């Protein structure tokens, strides 16, 4: 089916105004289909003209325009042409729609814990026509009035406040104008906790089987929600405009969360079944703050077209970290931003798919999917921090507020935002915007002989001014810190001449700007002995990001990074740094950049470091010690090779007290046993029987796929290729274990078949879901020239969807980074 082009959207928006949307859904027709009746009231600014409405049903039963019946057979490729439009029009559509199992459209999922069904709507990016007829583009906003018939005993939630009008019948309050992709309905036997704050009704909801965990964690979730509402009200001076505020933790969700006005959906793994480390709680709090920021950036004011996605995501990302830093217990949240979000963003900048923050080409809706990446999120947020350094926080806040007020319930674009900021700051931002927002690429920053060197990328030259600091550390002390504004390629840094040899010198030490940092050779040599003693967590995060980035660029031997990890990681204090660095070392540095013969010895070094951290945690009382113990035990469980200890841990013997009864941790241990070829079928079946949850079912799929046998790989491949009922998360679970193999010959025969597999899956799975599966199923872990050749052949295919192609491009780039490193370092 054709993807809506920008030219088509522009023409349709000039022709139409959508005055009202009325949607009636019948979810009580069984597990496969639902009924959909839509009434669209719209104005045509050129009476007699023609347009089309978007609709992708299982069966179209009846259509009428202004009382005249239209032929349902005229629907073609998801478009129903409308001709002879009047000035005022009423379109009525009755159809049968299909529930999805890929996290897009109206997704239906069965919880194996109790066999209860749940439905939620995720209409991003172009899935709305699979639920109701609509003009599906972000600048044709309209008020929605939604009614839902559902099985008795279900709770129905949506963008408007719910009123039960009869058994199984719920009507939702009419909303302010919404873009189509923000509309949602969440229905099922939810466990719920309700509250109220500042006149706003609040609700948090999850599957009934998660009810106990939801109630235990509700206090913290609601406390964060209240604090963020107060913060945004103070900051913007504009009250939350969408009535009630529900947060629904839903199963098998593709993204982290979605900012549906009044009814935000979250991945339900954020309701923790077991121990949660501080970085996990921070990530949940940050996600709450991020989605709430969208109520203003994205929902109240929506980008006119997808090329201005940054007006949604960059602002929400920046505002979220600002909020959690200022009003929650996570005063060091920017450390997590640096080591998680920015690491993601710098990887996106290195890839061939890099693009500007703003104005990235999006000729059609599906092509925009690839721009939901670390550039639109992390780089955009970093650029906003630089904008504040450029114009001042007062002018920034005033400009943002004016932009929101003047475009409320409408749409905006870069030029309009920039105009508001120029009025507020009293200066032209044309050159600044061109360099920072409209040009791709990250500068490189390095310090040599007391001079800060700025090197723009050759492929994307720009004159980007950087406001930052440079710091030096030695012996556990900060020796110097110099604020710098780098407006040219060489900027003297006074005071560094007094820094002794062997000090750790960190450009951008407070992580204030967007640039890849290159550490000098003396600093790199000093990291094994000195990194753990650097007293500034931001600076340590910058160093880790710089070191791991240099591994990816084939500038630093991966063995050096492993040596720094073994020495510094067990002494780290930041939960975010501990968690993310360990993940990257075990999933990227070891399997991609080290030769196969060195991988198990490298994992043994990681396991030894985890044991060091466990020993350290044992000497720390209270929550801090427990958090370190959880982090250490999780790392050991995925790297240790002592099968006797792994079996004891799987039985709950000898594990830290905080992990007793933690099913997710037990599955992690079982996965490692399976990876080592030490887990039998009956043991997997027994573990599944003991954990009948959705999480347990998915974990069992991954455990089966990771086993190092030809039979296991054949089973996994067959499930991905042939199982038409395989959900998005089930496909991820199977794909995530497939390429793990101590003997490459187990998986080599499948390399040339990946392209056919992905194309076959695209027939039953949308791009939003499948692009994530591509990341798991690309043969990146088989770091061989033949794999690169096969990957290039996939990219040469003409039958890849835009989302799949973009995901393959990024995976191919990571493979080629690993090959370049191995060529250089052996």
Catalytically active residues, by annotation: 291
Structure token pair of residue 573: 């204090």
Structure token pair of residue 385: 């921090």
Sequence-distant contacts of 416-425: CB under 8 A, at least 24 apart: 417/311, 421/387, 421/391, 421/395, 421/396, 423/399, 424/391, 424/395, 424/396, 424/398, 424/399, 425/391, 425/392, 425/395, 425/396, 425/399
Sheet hosting strand 200-206, strand order edge to edge: 191-197, 200-206, 245-250, 263-267, 257-258
Neighbouring residues of 64: CB distance < 8 A, sequence distance ≥ 6: 70, 91, 92
How deeply is 190 buried, as exposed, middle or buried, from its count of CB atoms within 10 A (0-12, 13-18, 19+)?
buried
CA distance 564 to 585: 11
CA distance 5 to 699: 40
Q: Which residue has the tokens 């793990």?
A: 740
On whether the CB atoms of residues 427 and 450 are closer than 8 A, the answer is no
On whether the CB atoms of residues 20 and 143 are closer than 8 A, the answer is yes
Q: For residue 245, how many other CB atoms are within 10 A of its CB?
A: 22
On whether the CB atoms of residues 743 and 713 are closer than 8 A, the answer is no
Structure token pair of residue 790: 């096969």
DSSP code for 76:
B
Q: The dihedral of CA 9, 12, 17, 19: what is its sign?
A: negative
CA distance 644 to 800: 46
CA distance 463 to 434: 9
């Amino acid at each position: 089916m054709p993807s809506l082009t920008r030219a088509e959207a522009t023409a349709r928006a000039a022709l139409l105004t959508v005055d009202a949307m009325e949607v009636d859904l019948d979810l009580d027709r069984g597990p496969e289909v639902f009924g959909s009746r839509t009434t669209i009231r719209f104005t045509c600014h050129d009476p007699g003209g023609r347009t089309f409405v978007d609709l992708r049903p299982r069966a179209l039963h009846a259509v009428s325009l202004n009382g005249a019946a239209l032929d349902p057979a005229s629907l073609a490729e998801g478009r129903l042409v409308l001709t002879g439009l009047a000035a005022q029009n009423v379109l009525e559509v009755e159809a049968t729609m299909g529930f999805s199992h890929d996290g897009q459209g109206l997704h239906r999922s069965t919880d194996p814990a109790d066999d209860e069904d749940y439905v939620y709507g995720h209409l991003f990016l172009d899935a709305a026509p699979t639920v109701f007829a609509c003009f599906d583009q972000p600048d044709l906003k309209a008020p929605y009035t939604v009614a839902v018939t559902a099985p008795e005993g279900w709770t129905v939630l949506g963008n408007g406040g719910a009123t039960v009008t009869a058994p199984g019948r719920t009507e939702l309050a009419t909303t302010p104008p919404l873009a189509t992709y923000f509309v949602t309905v969440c229905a099922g036997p939810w466990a719920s906790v309700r509250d109220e704050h500042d006149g706003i009704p609040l609700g948090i909801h999850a599957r009934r089987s998660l009810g106990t965990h939801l109630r235990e964690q509700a206090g913290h979730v609601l406390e964060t929600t209240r604090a963020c509402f107060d913060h945004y009200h103070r900051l913007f001076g504009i009250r939350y405009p969408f009535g009630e505020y529900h947060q629904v933790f839903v199963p098998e969700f593709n993204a982290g969360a979605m900012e549906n006005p009044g009814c935000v959906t979250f991945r339900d793994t954020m309701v923790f079944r077991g121990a949660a480390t501080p970085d996990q709680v921070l990530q949940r709090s940050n996600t709450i703050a991020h989605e709430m920021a969208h109520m203003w950036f994205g929902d109240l004011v929506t980008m006119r077209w997808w090329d201005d996605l940054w007006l949604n995501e960059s602002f929400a990302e920046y505002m979220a970290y600002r909020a959690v830093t200022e009003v929650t217990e996570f005063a060091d949240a920017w450390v997590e931003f640096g080591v998680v979000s920015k690491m993601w963003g710098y990887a996106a900048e290195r890839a061939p798919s890099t693009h500007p923050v703003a104005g990235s080409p999006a000729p059609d809706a599906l092509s925009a999917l690839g721009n939901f990446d670390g550039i639109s999120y992390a780089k955009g947020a970093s650029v906003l921090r630089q904008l504040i350094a450029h114009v001042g926080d007062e002018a920034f806040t005033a400009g943002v507020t004016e932009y929101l007020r003047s475009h409320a319930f409408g749409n905006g674009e870069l030029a309009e935002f920039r105009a508001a900021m120029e009025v507020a700051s009293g200066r032209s931002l044309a050159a600044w915007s061109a360099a920072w927002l409209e040009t791709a690429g990250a500068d490189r920053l390095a310090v040599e002989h007391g001079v800060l060197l700025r090197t723009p990328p050759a492929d994307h030259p720009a004159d980007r001014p950087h406001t930052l600091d440079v710091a030096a550390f030695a012996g556990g002390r900060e020796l110097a810190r110099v604020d710098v504004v780098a407006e040219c390629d060489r900027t003297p840094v006074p005071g560094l001449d007094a820094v002794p040899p062997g000090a750790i010198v960190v450009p951008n030490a407070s992580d204030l700007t967007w640039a890849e940092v290159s550490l000098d050779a003396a600093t790199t040599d000093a990291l094994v002995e000195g990194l753990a003693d650097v007293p500034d967590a931001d600076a340590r995060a910058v160093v880790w990001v710089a070191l791991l980035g240099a591994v990816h660029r084939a500038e630093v031997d991966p063995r050096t990074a492993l040596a720094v990890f073994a020495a510094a990681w067990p002494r780290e204090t930041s939960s975010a740094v501990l968690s993310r660095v360990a993940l990257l070392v075990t999933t990227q540095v070891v399997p991609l950049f080290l030769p196969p013969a060195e991988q198990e010895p490298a994992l043994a070094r990681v396991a030894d470091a985890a044991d060091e951290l466990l020993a350290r945690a044992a000497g720390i009382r209270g929550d801090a010690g427990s958090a370190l113990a959880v982090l250490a035990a999780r790392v050991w469980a995925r790297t240790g090779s002592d099968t006797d200890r792994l079996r004891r841990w799987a039985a709950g013997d000898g594990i830290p007290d905080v992990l007793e009864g933690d099913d997710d941790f037990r599955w992690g241990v079982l996965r490692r046993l399976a990876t080592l070829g030490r887990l039998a079928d009956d043991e997997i079946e027994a573990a599944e029987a003991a954990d009948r949850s959705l999480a347990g079912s998915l974990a069992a799929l991954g455990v089966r796929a990771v086993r190092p046998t030809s039979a296991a790989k054949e089973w996994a491949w067959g499930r991905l290729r042939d199982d038409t009922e395989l959900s998005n998360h089930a496909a991820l679970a199977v794909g995530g274990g497939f390429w793990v193999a101590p003997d490459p010959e187990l998986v080599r025969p499948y390399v040339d078949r990946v392209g056919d597999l992905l194309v076959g899956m695209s027939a039953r799975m949308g791009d939003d879901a499948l692009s994530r599966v591509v990341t798991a199923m690309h043969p990146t872990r088989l770091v061989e020239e033949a794999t690169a050749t096969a990957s290039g052949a996939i990219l040469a295919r003409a039958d890849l969807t835009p989302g799949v192609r973009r995901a393959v491009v990024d995976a191919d780039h990571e493979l080629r980074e690993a090959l370049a490193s191995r060529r250089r370092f052996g």
